[in-house]
Amino acid sequence: MKTGKVPENVLKRAVLKQLRTKRPEVILGAGIGEDCAALKLAPDETLVMSTDPITGTINDIGTLAIQITLNDLASSGAEPFGVMLTVLLPKRARESQLKQIMEQVGTACAGANIQVMGGHTEVTAAVNQPLISVCGVGKAKDNAVVTTGGAKPGMDLLVTKWIGIEGTSILAKDKQTELSTRFSSSFLATAQNFDTYISVLPEAKIAVKFGVAAMHDVTEGGIFGALWEMAEASGTGLEIDLKKIPIRQETVEICEFFDINPYKLISSGCMLMASSDGTGLLRELTKAKIPAAIIGKATDDNDRVLLNGEERRFLEPPDIDELYQAEKGV
C-alpha cells in the first residue's frame, strides 16, 4: 500500500466492514471522516480509560491488542465497552494483512461485547512491522474503581492462573523453528495455545464483587515487576514465597532454552490481587474454576522480600522484559 492515510475504499472494506459490535453508550462511533467518539454514561458511573501498544510480536496482534487493553480496564474494576485504535503499517504491508488484523480485532471485540468507536489507520516508513495502539474505555460505579495502590499491610497477595503465559505463547510462535530442535510439536502446540488464557475479565469480575482491595495485571516485567509496582503504588513491603508462585512446566522449559528468567517474563492473563481475606477470595475463584494461589503478604515496612526455602533475597525494581532478550537471541 502507498504511504499515508489508508484510502477510503480500503478503510471501508478492510477496516470498518470487520467491526460489527455496537454499544448503547456510544452515540458517535467509527465512520469516514469522524475524528472523535462520543459517549453517554449514567449519572452514577465513572469513565475509566487505558492505552497500550503491541510491539513485542506480530502474531495475532489484533487479538492481543484488544485483550491487553481489556485486562487493564478489568484490573481497575471497570466494565469495558469500547476501544479506539491507531494502526500503523509498514510500506510493504498488503491490504490483506490489514484485513486479517481487523478481523482479529472484530472477533475479539465481539467476544467481549465491546465496540470499536473510532481510530486512525496509516501506512508509514516510521515502522518496520504492524503496530497497534489501543485506547480502551470502560465504566465503573462511582467509588468502585480498584487501584494498583490499594494494598495494605497484612493483606494476602494472590495471583490467578500462571505466570509467563503470554510470553510463553509468543515465544512458542515466534521462535518455533529454534524450539522445534528440542521440543515436540505437541509440546509447542500446548505452549502456543496459552494465549487462550490471556483474558483476566472473569477473575476481575469475581474479585470486584468479593471486594478486592487492589489489582494489577501482570504484563511487562513479569510477576517481579508487578509485585514491585503494587508495593510502590501502595507504599508497602512484601514477603513472597517463590515456591507458591504458579508456573507451567512449558514456561519453565522454554525459559531454560533461552536462558531467561520466567519471573520477569510478560505475563498477561495472570492477575495480581490484594485482599484482606485471601482465603475467601481464593475460594470464590476456585468455585469459578479459575486457578489461583496465595503467594505472600503485604508488610508494614519497605522490605520487598523473596523467600525460596532457606534463601532470602530482596526484590529489585523492574528491568527490561525477558521477552525482548529472547527475541534478540541474547
Does the pLDDT of residue 144 top 90, yes or no?
A: no
Nearest Cα to Cα of residue 117 among 141, 134, 140 = 134
Question: Cα–Cα distance between 201 and 79 in angstroms, integer?
Answer: 9
**Cα separation of 73 and 251, whole Å?**
26
Of 229, 197, 224, 230, nearest in space to 212 by CA: 230
| End-to-end Cα spacing for the chain | 34
Nearest partner of 112 among 140, 75, 79, judged by Cα: 79
User: Whose CA is closest to 72, among 52, 88, 87, 95?
Assistant: 52
Helices (H), the chain: 8-10, 61-75, 95-112, 165-174, 176-179, 185-192, 201-210, 222-234, 249-258, 278-287, 322-327
Residue 11 and residue 264: Cα distance in Å, rounded? Answer: 39
Record the cell numbers describing residue 216, joined without a space: 494489577
User: Does residue 33 carry a pLDDT above 80?
Assistant: no
Q: What confidence score (pLDDT) does residue 329 get? A: 59
Taking the CA atoms of 89, 8, 95 and 50 in sequence, report the sign of the dihedral they define: positive
Cα–Cα distance for residue pair 101/120, rounded to 1 Å: 14
Residues 272 and 189: beta-carbon distance below 8 Å: no
Q: What's the pLDDT tens digit per position in 155-171?
A: 999 999 999 999 999 99
Here the cell at position 77 is 474494576
- pLDDT (mean) for 31-41: 79
Going by pLDDT thresholds of 50, 70 and 90, the confidence category of residue 57 is confident
User: pTM for the full model?
Assistant: 0.86
Distance CA 67, CA 54 (A): 11
Which amino acid makes up residue 296? G
Torsion angle of alpha carbons 308, 314, 318, 319, nearest 10°?
A: -90
**Alpha carbons 192 and 180: distance in angstroms, whole number:** 12
**What was the pLDDT predicted at 32?**
78
pLDDT of 75 > 60? The answer is yes
How far is C-alpha 163 from the geometric centre of its chain's CA atoms? 12
pLDDT (tens digit per residue) in 226-265: 999 999 999 999 999 999 999 999 999 999 999 999 999 9
The confidence band for 1, taking pLDDT boundaries of 50, 70 and 90, is confident
Residue 151's pLDDT band (cuts 50, 70, 90): very high
**The pLDDT of residue 148 is above 60:** yes
| Domain ranges for the chain | 4-141, 148-327
pLDDT by residue (tens digit) across 179-227? 999 999 999 999 999 999 999 999 999 999 999 999 999 999 999 999 9
Residue 330: per-residue pLDDT = 44
CB neighbours of residue 286 within 10 Å: 11
**Residue 242 near residue 309 (C-beta atoms within 8 A):** no
The DSSP 8-state label assigned to residue 159 in this structure reads E
- Give dist(CA 321, CA 330) in Å, integer: 12
pLDDT 10s digits, 291-328: 999 999 999 998 999 999 999 999 999 888 999 888 77
* Three-class DSSP category at 41: coil
| H or E element that contains 38 | strand 38-39
Homologous superfamily of 4-141 in CATH? PurM-like, N-terminal domain (3.30.1330.10)
> Which of 179, 306, 197, 203 has the alpha carbon at shortest distance from 255?
179
Superfamily of domain 148-327: PurM-like C-terminal domain (3.90.650.10)
* DSSP letter for each residue of 210-257: HT-SEEEE--TTHHHHHHHHHHHHHT-EEEEEGGGS-B-HHHHHHHHH
